[in-house]
Amino acid sequence: MMRKKTSSIYQWIKIYFHGMKTSLASRMAYRGDFFMSMIIMMVVELFGPLVTLLIYHNGASFPGWERHEVLLLQGTFLLSRGIAFPFFMGMVWNTIRRVQEGTYDLLLIKPRSILQMSIITAFDSEDLGKLIGGLLLFFYALKSVPALPLVNWGVFLLLFVFSLITMFAFGLFMTGLGIVWVGNYRIYEIFISTMDFGLYPRSIFTKVFQSIITWVIPISLLGSFPASALLGKEMTGVFGAMACSIGFLLLGLWFFHRMARNYTSAGG
Amino acid sequence: MSIIKVDKLTKTFTTYERGGTFREALKSLIIRKKKIVEALKAVSFEIGEGELIGFLGPNGAGKSTTLKILTGILYPTSGSVEIMGYVPWKDRRKYVANIGAVFGQKSQLLFDIPPLDSFLLNQSIYNIPEQTFRKTMKEMVEMLDLEKIVRKPTRQLSLGERMKCEFIMAMLHQPKIVFLDEPTIGLDVIAKGKIREFILEQNKKGTTFILTTHDLEDVEHLARRVIVVNHGEIVFDNTMDRLRMHLGNKKSVRVTTHNPLSSLNQPGILIRKLHSDREAEFELDLSRLKLNEFIKRLNEESVISDMSIENLEIETIIKDLYGREV
């Protein structure tokens, strides 16, 4: 049983890397566009932190957070986005586009789970620019932070995994909606706007809003909680947010599969 | 032995009606009129192992819906389907590992990279052992004359070359059943011929094919049995020979005479086209008028200068079946 499970995980990873290689080869067929897109993505991602620098430059601040701490939070947030977008969030666009064109059928005739096929065929190399931007900002901010205990790094890594889980759950909801709500690209914009609350420390929001982004949609796990863990700041409600993240993932999986069942295909 | 069993298969869709005028479009933003469409109405049939079936029907008849249910893409509203012991929509992952599909209007190849890279991706997805993969690919590439093609980017290939690669893509995992949806659409006669040859060759090896097409030449060249659907129901299910006899023992005749045609207005003759008073095309019903008697009389009255007699075109029969109200 265990062996079978390991073998199927190995298969999953093997297919994923093959899909990634194929997608990269496709994108690299147009070299100029490949590099330009990555650079543009990286620059666009750094706009948010630029606003933070302006705020601090003008004497204002986020209460309880130093400039380099906010940058570290935003670096964490961008890092999470930089991993999620190229490696699995592409499933949202992939699904919306394929459902609209009628080529989603081609994924359903493959002997793999529809979720796996949606991810394999959606690796987005352009979004690697987001990852580079996230890494640059994270390490730039880290330079101003004194040496951190190992335990902080451990908790940070754990919470970072939870931030990816939350991102993945978001992706599942949007992909599910994309299956039944044909051609609705606004879903994506709503998601981006909602997610942007994760760019700022949780403490700057009202108590009610803090509860929402902790207990209902755990956006605070995208940047605020992992950065707080790394900096040794207070993390009230972190266990609730982690539980909420798991719940969000399970609900997302259920929702995705429910919507996939309702797929009607395009006319033939 | 039946490899596909379909029993009372029904599929209904909910669509929304919208008028053509701006006022109606505006109204539909708030109130939409629901419409239930019965795409399939209790369709039943069986297909044996190794058969090559032509699955025909006019646009919107329900053939694509049937195909999508049989390939596990759609869930039916009711009825049962059992293919190789699987229920397609319940055991989808295990089931689709044993089938292949070629969609003439939807490509499985990746546009910017060579077909070979797409084949390799399929090897991973289907978990095809390296040796089997190389052997099958080599055989198919040789059979379809694609040796120099598979390493070129797909976007540089002609439609015919691309379609041949689609076949390899669909058959690398050696499926037992292959669904073909308009596989020769837009192809020239040479490419069509090559693809038909390939299908027949694979069918000889035991692969079952279900061919959906509007190209009746494909059906005449390939299918031994034909299922015709119209308005969500099966209106014909029998052999090609029976299909040819469907409208009775009739012949298609074209004649040119030296003198004006005078004896065409009689029972058993249906004039299709009168080119001039000395040239005509018509259908001859042999159950009402014997061929030798007809030729003798025509020659005596008008003096035949040229004549061709052929079986009734399959297109005429299909048109009749499509035109019938169920």
Is a pLDDT exceeding 90 seen at residue B266?
no
Q: Which residues pair with B230 in a beta bridge?
A: B233
* Dist. CA A54–CA B151, nearest whole Å: 53
Percent of chain A with pLDDT over 90: 43
> Could you give the residue ranges of the DSSP H alpha helices within chain A?
2-27, 31-45, 47-57, 67-84, 90-101, 105-108, 114-120, 128-142, 150-180, 186-195, 207-211, 224-231, 238-261
B213 lies within 8 A of chain A by CB: no
- Check if B272 contacts A (Cβ < 8 Å): no
Asked whether the beta carbons of residue A268 and residue B65 sit closer than 8 angstroms, the reply is: yes
Q: In sequence order, which residues have a C-beta less than 8 Å from that of residue A112 and are 6 or more positions away? A: A15, A120, B93, B125
Query: Phi, psi at residue B3, to the nearest 5°?
Result: -100, -25
Set of chain A residues whose Cβ sits within 8 Å of the Cβ of B171 = none
Averaged pLDDT for residues A128-138: 89
Pairwise CA distance, residues A87 & B198, whole Å: 39
Burial A173-200 (b: 16+ CB within 10 A, else e): bbbbbbbeeeeeeebbeebeeebebbbb
Residue B92 with chain A: CB contacts under 8 Å: 108
Neighbouring C-alpha atoms within 13 Å toward the C-beta of A188: 16
- Whether residue A62 is contained in a domain is answered as yes
pLDDT tens digits for range A53-77: 787 777 777 788 888 898 999 999 9
Give the structural domain span for A81: 13-261
User: In this model, does residue A243 exceed pLDDT 90?
Assistant: yes
Residue B45 has pLDDT above 80, yes or no: yes
Asked whether the predicted pLDDT for residue A1 surpasses 70, the reply is no
In a domain, A215, yes or no: yes
Residue of A nearest to B100 (CA): A109
The set of residues, in sequence order, having a beta carbon less than 8 Å from that of B83 and lying 6+ positions away, is B3, B4, B5, B70, B95, B99, B177
Question: How many angstroms separate the CA atoms of A178 and A221, rounded?
Answer: 25
Q: What is the pLDDT of residue B325?
A: 53
Answer with the residue of higher pLDDT: A34 or A139: A139
Asked if residue A268 belongs to a domain, the reply is: no
- Tell me which chain A residue has its CA closest to the CA of residue B63: A268
A7 and chain B in contact, CB less than 8 A: no
Asked if the model's pLDDT at residue B326 lies above 50, the reply is no
Q: How many residues are listed for chain A in this entry?
A: 268
Question: In the predicted model, what is the mean pLDDT of chain B?
Answer: 89
Strands B269-276 and B177-181: what pairing? unpaired
Q: What pLDDT does residue A266 have?
A: 67
The answer to whether position A66 is within a domain reads: yes
Residue B71 with chain A: CB contacts under 8 Å: 105, 108-109
ipTM over cut 0.90: no
Cα–Cα distance list, B272 to A34, B75, B251, B293 (Å): 61, 45, 12, 21
**Is A233 in CB contact (< 8 Å) with chain B?**
no
pLDDT tens digits along B24-40: 777 777 777 788 888 99
A10 and chain B in contact, CB less than 8 A: no
Whole-number Cα distances in Å, B283 to A121, A156, A243, B261, B322: 55, 84, 78, 15, 19
Q: Which of B65, B96, B118 sits opposite A110 (nearest CB)?
A: B96
* Residue A236 contacts B, CB cutoff 8 Å: no
Choice between A149 and A190, residue whose per-residue pLDDT is larger: A149
Tokens of A150: 């190992």
Total domain count for chain A? 1
Q: Judging by DSSP bridges, how do beta strands B52-56 and B208-212 pair with one another?
A: parallel
Over residues B166-186, the mean pLDDT reads 93
- Nearest-by-CA chain A residue for B125: A15
Identify the three-state secondary structure at position B184. Answer: coil
The amino acid at B174: Q
By residue count, chain B amounts to 326
Partner residue facing B113 (CB), from A25, A102, A109:
A25
- Most B-contacting residue of A106, A108, A114, A118 (CB-CB within 10 A), to test interface: A108
Query: In this predicted structure, what is the pLDDT of residue B324?
Result: 63
Minimal Cβ distance to A111: which of B93, B106, B113: B93
Q: Across B113-247, where does the E strand assignment appear?
A: 177-181, 208-212, 225-230, 233-239
The pLDDT assigned to B136 comes to: 94
> In this structure, what token pair is assigned to residue B184?
């020769």
The proportion of chain B whose per-residue pLDDT surpasses 70, expressed as a percent, equals 98
Write the CB contacts of A38 (distance below 8 Å, at least 6 apart in sequence).
A125, A126, A128, A129, A132
Is pLDDT above 90 for B60? no
